[in-house]
Structure 1
Amino acid sequence: MIRLVLPALLLVACSTAPARIEGFRAKGPIYSNAVMDMAQIEGRWTQVAAFGAEGCRPGGAEFRRDGAGLSVAARLCLGGEELRYGGPLAVTGPGRMTPAGKAPAPLDREWWVLWVDVDTRTLVIGTPDGSFGVILNRGGALPQDRLVAARDILEWNGYDTGRLVVW
């Protein structure tokens, strides 16, 4: 009997081992918002949280539709640095976009919309490699219920929310 139970217990113990963190998220599945119309993010957003953002002040982003599709003017505090990108975004899939111009790392990676609330007031963007994650909001301060929802989405997508800085 022990010969049958011991291997099963070892298998369970192995499957619950913590995932290795790279950047700000563990390796594993990550999901973009597949049903969102990217035009919904048009407008001005204020940065209200980011990973490893000690040392700089929050920024924001303004998304615009233009003749080529979508563009952004962004100044974000990510990983303790103030980073800027202004230019086109190539829509690369459902809820996914990539800067089409020269952007500084980690902004040069594919951005995934992980969540947007039903009224399009709070937006969570992350990267599959975990190099950055950010919460953007429009229309004033971020209410506690949407902060909790945004944190839950980040955690569900493998982010270490203990490293999230909220302003």
Structure 2
Amino acid sequence: MKRRQMLTMTGAAAVAASLTACGGGGAGVEFHRSRTRQLSSTTRFDAARFAGRWEIRGEFVYPGEKPSFGAVNLTQSNGKIVALDVYGPSGLLDRYETKQPAPGRISVGTPPFDTQYWVLWVDADYRTAAIGTPSGSFGWIIDRSRSGGEDRIKAARDVLGFNGYNLSRLQTR
């Protein structure tokens, strides 16, 4: 599935899962995170420091899928993240306009089908971050470098686990 489809479909899938759960029928969609766990975004988010290029060092995948391990670039203006570019091995895959409704929360799409990507944790020097969705449909560990910083990657992994993510589905490099 193309990255654009994945990013925009997570909102629709979350709505579908909610409707299935409300209707009492079927098992619903199994996401990467237990929604019984509370989720919160970091309160010490600085869009200017968060902007720039990040390498995807960890990605949640379903059994049989392979992670892309691409990169993302975030653009900020007036203290808010306003764009997200997603890169794959062959270059730019997609560009998304974003909104930032609250510190550490980046929204892609239009309600009610928008998806919010929450920055769950970022290290003090803005080198590594853990990002997830409240639904649990998506999660990344991003880092400024393609390698190194294993202690920070482990910390981001621990944050995702604490927030109810199924770490057996997390592929890291």
CA distance in 1, matches of 2:68, 2:118: 23
Using the TM superposition, give the Cα deviation of residue 100 of structure 1 relative to its aligned residue in structure 2, in angstroms: 4.3
One of 62, 72, 86 as aligned partner of 1:74 = 86
Using the TM superposition, give the Cα deviation of residue 96 of structure 1 relative to its aligned residue in structure 2, in angstroms: 0.4
Note if contact 2:69-2:88 (Cα within 8 Å) is conserved in structure 1: yes
CA distance in 1, matches of 2:93, 2:34: 26
- After superposition, give the CA deviation of every residue in 1:98-126 in whole Å (9 maximum; x if it has no partner): 0147xxx9xx5100000111110001110
1:25 maps to a residue whose letter is: R
TM (norm. structure 1) is 0.72
2:9 matched to which residue of 1? none
1:87 aligns with 2:93: no
1:147 aligns with 2:153: yes
Answer with 1 or 2: which has the greater Rg.
1
TM (norm. structure 2) is 0.70
Deviates more, 1:123-132 or 1:22-31: 22-31
CA distance in 1, matches of 2:157, 2:139: 11
Using the TM superposition, give the Cα deviation of residue 154 of structure 1 relative to its aligned residue in structure 2, in angstroms: 0.2
CA distance in 1, matches of 2:166, 2:131: 14
Structure 1: unaligned runs, 5 residues or longer:
1-20, 78-82
2:34 maps to a residue whose letter is: A
One of 120, 126, 131 as aligned partner of 1:120 = 126
1:26 aligns with 2:38: no
Classify the secondary structure of the residue corresponding to 2:161: helix
1:114 maps to a residue whose letter is: L
> What is the number of equivalent residue pairs in this alignment?
138
Using the TM superposition, give the Cα deviation of residue 147 of structure 1 relative to its aligned residue in structure 2, in angstroms: 1.6
One of 136, 139, 152 as aligned partner of 2:142 = 136
1:64 maps to a residue whose letter is: T
Note if contact 1:47-1:76 (Cα within 8 Å) is conserved in structure 2: no
Classify the secondary structure of the residue corresponding to 2:125: coil
